Copies of this chain bind each other. A is one copy, B any other.
Amino acid sequence: MGGVGEERRSLPPTFNMDLTNLHVLSASEATRLIRDGVITSEQLVRACLNRVSETDSRVQAWAFLDADHALAQARAADEWRLGGRPTGPLHGVPVGVKDIIDTADMPTENGSVLHAGRAPSRDATVVAMLRAAGAVVMGKTVTTEFAGRAPGKTRNPHNPARTPGGSSSGSAAAVAAGMVPLALGSQTGGSTVRPASFCGVYGLKPTHGLIPRHGMFQLSRSLDHVGLFARTIDDLALLLEQLVGYDERDPDSRPRARIPYRDVAAEEPPLPPMFAFAKTARWDRVDDDAKEAFAELTDHLGERVEELELFDAAVDASEWHRIIMEAEIAVNLGREWEKGRDRLSASLQARIESGREVRALDYLRALARIPQLNESFDELFAQRYDAILTPAAAGTAPEGLDSTGDPAFCTLWTLCGMPALSVPLMQGANGLPLGVQLVGPRHGDARLLRTARWLVAQVASTRPA
């Protein structure tokens, strides 16, 4: 039977300071211990590499991982600190990076044989930001083909016969399996929230444009987001804080006031938050045990939650999302289509073919819907709700590795560019993790994390002993 279980953690909440167990540390804990000289980055990275050795033959989260190179970065971080120089907020902490995000010191193959051996000469903006914060770039995590639907090799760490979700398959799995405390992914449909739900970790797709995408493979400018994976909300906020910034090379990036994401996320809300439970037009696709888990969760929340029937425009959103994504994919994969379409998956070929026929009229009209939808949602948030509570996926990770699952529960929020977060708060009848998706208004990222923290604490406190 499904239900609201313990807060899902793949790892025990406490541990002895056993150097072989350092991989269970959160990034926030680890960077503090490194700063205080209790542990070294090398010890931490070594523990994570050991964890990779133990688990990755089963999980296969990595597209590229050079242990020596990761250790060299860790030792450099340690030497830097020992030299008395100031350390960054992620000093010495290993981070996995999805293999559609360029790294100057590692290949970036975008999950396609067409880009095999591709070695970019520059770091993506987010990778440069990670390095500036002191992070160790652990390696490149497996992506589906061009962050689309065709799966990579990664398996769900909770059950290797099941998909980890996608397209950020390796990032979600690596964090869930304790190989790294943090990882970067992306989301154009449901590529962060869904794998986070399937793997039982936190997955955040922040507001569109908040994190610059320069140097990340562009599938769809209007829909592409950088995604974040972590095992705690504090870690998510810590990572987010490093990656928010203006980059004029991303046309959707804007200069904005700096927000202390970690501080806001850690605050107590002034009033208990109010949730809108949106079953969405696709509730009939949701598994029965997931429905039960939601019923239990909304029972827990009592009068802090109300069922919200979405307006009609929200129902049509998946079609607008499809039009925009396919039209932009057809352009962005134009070269690959011209030169090597026979080496693209059949599903991607079909998408490109469909995208090539989209009319500019329909494309531009679909784009024009986005601000209209956001206006409607902004009203809901302004008047009554702190967050929308909605499924992250139809249920737990489906069996098999031929599909990464159905992104349908994510497309509306991706289209709108609203911040969306999978919280690993429930489980299915099969004992596998099941995320709750929380969605906030555009640029309400910090408050969304605060609301999520409240929700997790609330469920923990009311949980039967």
Contacts and interface: CB of A to CB of B under 8 A. Distances in A.
A365 interface: yes
Contacts of A271: none
B361 A327 contact: yes
Counting chain A residues whose Cβ lies within 8 A of the other chain, the interface size class is 20 to 34
Q: How many copies does the complex hold?
A: 2
Nearest to A362: B360
Interface stretch (A192-200, A309-317, A351-359, A388-396): A351-359
Q: Which of A330, A363, A365 has the most CB atoms of chain B within a 10 A radius of its CB? A: A363
A221 B368 CA distance: 12
A254 B365 CA distance: 24
Interface in A323-377: 327-328, 330-331, 334, 355-365, 368
Contacts of A360: 327, 330-331, 355, 358-360, 362-363
A255 interface: yes
A310 B360 CA distance: 29
A328 B359 contact: no
A364 B362 CA distance: 13
A255 B330 CA distance: 32
Contact of A327 (B248, B328, B331, B364): B364
Contacts of A355: 360-361
Contacts of A362: 360
Given A255-B255, A331-B368, A368-B331, A361 B358 contact: yes
Interface of A: 248, 254-255, 327-328, 330-331, 334, 355-365, 368
Which 5 pairs, one residue from A and one from B, show the smallest C-beta to C-beta distance?
A: A327-B360, A360-B363, A331-B364, A358-B360, A360-B360
21 contacts: A248-B254, A327-B360, A327-B361, A327-B364, A328-B364, A330-B361, A331-B360, A331-B361, A331-B364, A331-B365, A331-B368, A334-B361, A334-B365, A355-B360, A355-B361, A358-B359, A358-B361, A359-B360, A360-B363, A363-B363, A363-B364
